[in-house]
Amino acid sequence: MRKIHSVLVVDDETVVRAALRRTIEAWGLEVVVAGSVAEAQQVLSRHAVDLVLTDVRLPDGTGVAVAKLALHARPAPLVIAMSGAASREEAFELGQHGVAVYVDKPVDAEQLRRAFDDARRHVPDLGVLVPAAVGHMSVRRTIQTVRDNMLAQAVSLSEGNATHAGRILRITRQAVKRYQKNKND
């Protein structure tokens, strides 16, 4: 289960952002806030966060845009989406873009804690994601892409420590070094 030390809260309502920040900081976590997709992009480009808690509807886009940004961050944070009015289609699309958990607003501290715990246990279903590559990527390229992304994530989570990255991936330190060398060649 992944550890959470820092959280990015993305919500356009100042009062909601402040309440979420207070709650999460009371748990001993570092909190950064953003009020839009653009602000979230700036934060994610400057700070590594472990989890993103985003509203679905934002003034300049949606939680899907925030989830896409999070997927490209290294290390890629866990993502929880929240909304008081998201449709089934929106919830489905959020899941397709890496959102681990969806919660209805208003959310209380206990619901939020459960959502954090659920996100930490979430394992993306590659069976849903990989079929989208069919017809666009060869099997060899798909396997290499999955391997490269898993390696990059593990190395980032371990802050470059090959032994720790190997433990995360359940491979040897030497295999991590070999993959890194091959990637750089």
pLDDT band at 95 (very low <50, low <70, confident <90, very high): confident
- Please state whether the peptide bond connecting residue 77 to the residue before it is cis, i.e. omega within 30 degrees of 0: no
pLDDT digits (tens, 9 = 90+) for 135-153: 888 999 988 888 888 888 8
**CA geometry: angle at 63 spanning 71 and 112, to 5°?**
95
- Please state whether the peptide bond connecting residue 75 to the residue before it is cis, i.e. omega within 30 degrees of 0: yes
pLDDT digits (tens, 9 = 90+) for 58-91: 999 999 999 999 988 988 899 999 998 777 788 7
- Cα–Cα distance measured from residue 55 to residue 13, given in angstroms and rounded to the nearest whole number: 9
- Average pLDDT of the residues of the chain: 90
Q: Higher model confidence: residue 15 or residue 2?
A: 15
Q: In what order do the strands lie in the sheet with 51-55?
A: 30-34, 6-10, 51-55, 78-83, 101-104
Residue 182's nearest CA partner among 137, 138, 153, 151 is 151
DSSP letter (8 states) at residue 65 = H
Tell me what pLDDT residue 128 has.
Answer: 61
Q: At what angle do helices 109-121 and 14-26 cross, to 10 degrees?
A: 70
Q: Which residue has the tokens 């899907």?
A: 64
Instruction: Indicate the helix (H) or strand (E) that contains 20.
Output: helix 14-26
Tell whether the model's pLDDT for residue 8 goes beyond 90: yes
Interacting residues of 41 by C-beta distance below 8 A, sequence separation 6+: 69
Q: Higher model confidence: residue 28 or residue 88?
A: 28
pLDDT digits (tens, 9 = 90+) for 161-173: 999 999 999 999 9
Tell me what pLDDT residue 92 has.
Answer: 78
